[in-house]
Amino acid sequence: AEGASWWQAGWRAMRRDPAVFKAAIELTLITMMLIILGGLIPTYIRDVLELPFEIGALVLTPAAIGVIVGLRVAGPLAHHLPHGLLSSVGFAAFTGLLLALAFVNEEATFLAGYGVFAWLDDVNLGDFDGGALLAMLIVLPLGFAYANVSVAAQTVLNDRVPLALQGRVVATQGAMAALAASLPVLGAGALGDWLGVQPVMAILAVSIAAATVVNLRS
């Protein structure tokens, strides 16, 4: 084992424990999703929010607040709730919110038809409208859900992988995420130019949800 390369040692450590392998797959899925989204966000800001990139980036900054809060809250939860429950809830919330984020303009128009949400029609600060405001509200819990999944999976790795192998396992998992995202990033960009960014984000959310269900049930 000592002569094995770092990735072989990391892979063997993951495969040796089914719980560790599932957690590594979860981290790979959520990391892959973020890498792909990173390539789609500029197009999303331009075509969906119809905002200059600088303003659109500010609209999406509440996601960082959600991540920070999630990291503080999810740590204690990960030691008191079953890993599968915390991860499942986090993934379900993340994919649902990602779907909602893809269609914020349509949702803002729909909600504005109801009295309690009529104020969405009144939001008009230059190019900033109800859809952009709704996007700000959605990305906050989106970041929180991401933190839940990450912390739940990372807690399993920290608790079940021997300390001497944790670095190799983390490096192997990171390589898995980079490899898993390499082709989808190119495909998502091409599909985004062809179909538009909204359908691609919807396909991404549904695909990750399906992969998560398969991983949790395996």
The DSSP annotation for 85-118 comes to: HHHHHHHHHHHHHHHHHHTHHHHHHHHTTSGGGG
- Whether 3 has a pLDDT exceeding 50, the answer reads no
- 96-112 pLDDT, tens per residue? 999 999 999 998 888 88
**Domain spans, the chain:** 6-217
- 33-90 pLDDT, tens per residue? 888 888 889 889 999 988 888 888 888 899 999 999 999 988 888 778 887 778 878 8
Q: The domain 6-217 is classified under which CATH number: 3.40.50.720, 3.40.640.10, 1.20.1250.20, 3.40.50.20?
A: 1.20.1250.20
Cβ proximity of 74 and 86 under 8 Å: yes
Q: What stretch of H or E contains 25?
A: helix 18-44
